[in-house]
Amino acid sequence: MHLEDYIDHTLLKPTATIAEIKKLCADAIKYELYAVCVHGCHIALAKNELNGSPVKLAAVVGFPLGAMTTEAKVFEAKECISNGADEIDMVINIGYLKSGLGEFVENDIKKVKKAIGNTVLKVIIETCFLTDKEKETACKIVMDSGAEFVKTSTGFGKGGATYEDVILIKKIIGDKVKIKASGGIKNKESALKYIDLGVSRIGTSSGPSLLL
């Protein structure tokens, strides 16, 4: 097992500078990380910086609140792909999920997935705001939507990934979709534990540090 193959090296803070995005990409290439994950405005820059390397490029959509219209998410996802994104990490409409509007939430994801075709779609359910029952509902919606991943967190809520949430998610989804744990993962030991629990991808702003 090579830990670098699991890491989405991430920079999503609103103050991220051009120089910091360039360093993110350079570090991902240097340490042979799986992907970098950035905002849509940085996709073209990151694509140029990655310069044909094997490192994948992921874009966040509807981030971090998930509360924009489906049409806005679809447009954002398509534009990110046209600018060079290889994967999309989208946020569900959390308030609608908590309102019992599961059909809307599923349709929201399905329309983005339809728009991006075979591009990998990771769906952020923002576990810190959900009850266990709502987490179960969200996971089932993701499974039914055609997306490839359930992702725990944006890193901008009141909490990030937890072992307990990953155990719960894995129990619900089995091997039907993959899991990306993100938010607060800062060291190698915790990353390895998440992988042992069944995670296929780690979202972290501390990518190179996890390899030490």
- Per-residue pLDDT 10s for the chain (212 aa) are 899 999 999 999 999 999 999 999 999 999 999 999 999 999 999 999 999 999 999 999 999 999 999 999 999 999 999 999 999 999 999 999 999 999 999 999 999 999 999 999 999 999 999 999 999 999 999 999 999 999 999 999 999 999 999 999 999 999 999 999 999 999 999 999 999 999 999 999 999 999 98
Pairing of strands 56-61, 87-91: parallel
Q: What is the pLDDT of residue 83?
A: 98
Q: How far apart are CA 161 and CA 155, in angstroms?
A: 8
pLDDT of residue 212: 85
The catalytically annotated residue of 73, 122, 135, 180 is 180
| Whether residue 110 lies in the annotated active site | no
Catalytic, out of 8, 86, 89, 108: 89
Which residue bears the tokens 């405005």? 41
User: Would you say 104 and 138 are in contact if contact means Cβ atoms under 8 Å apart?
Assistant: no
Closest to 194 in 3D by CA, of 165, 159, 173: 165
Taking the C-alpha atoms of residue 38 and residue 115, their distance in angstroms, rounded to an integer, is: 20
Active site residue 193: no
CATH entry 3.20.20.70 includes domain 3-210: yes
Question: In Å, what is the CA distance from 108 to each residue of 20, 93, 174?
Answer: 32, 8, 23
Active site residue 180: yes
Question: How far is 151 from 144, CA to CA, in rounded Å?
Answer: 15
d(CA 46, CA 126): 26
The span from the CA of 93 to the CA of 33, in Å, is: 30
List 122, 135, 151, 165, catalytic entry: 151
d(CA 179, CA 21): 25
